[in-house]
Amino acid sequence: MRYFIRFSYFGKAYHGWQNQPNAITVQEVLEKAMSTLLRQPIEVVGAGRTDAGVHAKEMYAHFDSEPISDKQDFVYRLNAFLPEDIAVFDLVKVKENANARFDAGERTYEYWLVQQKNPFYFELAHCIRQPLNLEAMNEAAKLLLEHSDFESFSKSNTDVKTYICDVREAFWEDRGDKLVFTISADRFLRNMVRAVVGTLLEVGLGKRKPDEVNQIIESKDRSKAGVSVPAKGLYLTAVSYPKTILDE
């Protein structure tokens, strides 16, 4: 039977989501814990591939196993096997062909920014102490919705077949103790959000005009965009799925 798990993780200790031969990843730790609990080899497929140091407030993955009769007991015992920086919240039975990666209709990320030294955000947000023009940053962010090819914000030498993404929202907001950039799309390219934020920060610092974002995107040249911001401020916050994947 196929199941989805809903979970979160703090990414500092991990070299991203996906299994790698010489580095610890969230997928590896999760698969080991689930294999131990279910006493069979378990492979999980995640909703996306977060980079090293990136966090996930809401992440999904699917796996196949024998029927699990007690959902709450499974979640409780699995969390006992997992380290403190990974937490599972729910188990959902889905249809046999449901796929956590390919059935995801929308993904949302947030990037956290602080403007003064704050020990409580030291590992949670990027710090920029210079004044930022939030209005100009939002003007530039809005232009992202007018484009579909985001090669300029993609990490070089990736194995993707297309750079097309449907960006549905992109905006900055002041939440009092931090500035937060929110962006939603059907899919994201490797390093895309961090490169977008780095570019928008250059607008906010007055190094670029907002409408230069158009030229950057149209160039399809990564070197034209801004420097990627640190991973510690990036959070996957939501993944949505159609109800049709549920096995009810």
Active site (catalytic) residues: 51
Question: Mutual orientation of helices 192-204 and 212-219 as an angle, nearest 10°?
Answer: 150
User: Residue 168: phi, psi to the nearest 5?
Assistant: -105, -25
CB neighbours of residue 21 within 10 Å: 4
- Please compute Rg for the chain using Cα positions: 19
d(CA 218, CA 147): 9
What's the DSSP call for residue 246? B
d(CA 97, CA 226): 40
Return the structure tokens found at 220.
């399809």
Token match 């490797």: residue? Answer: 190
User: Residue 16: phi, psi to the nearest 5?
Assistant: 85, -170
Q: Dihedral sign, CA of 204, 174, 183, 51?
A: positive
Strand, helix or coil for residue 235: strand
d(CA 59, CA 49): 10
Token match 């590896």: residue? Answer: 28
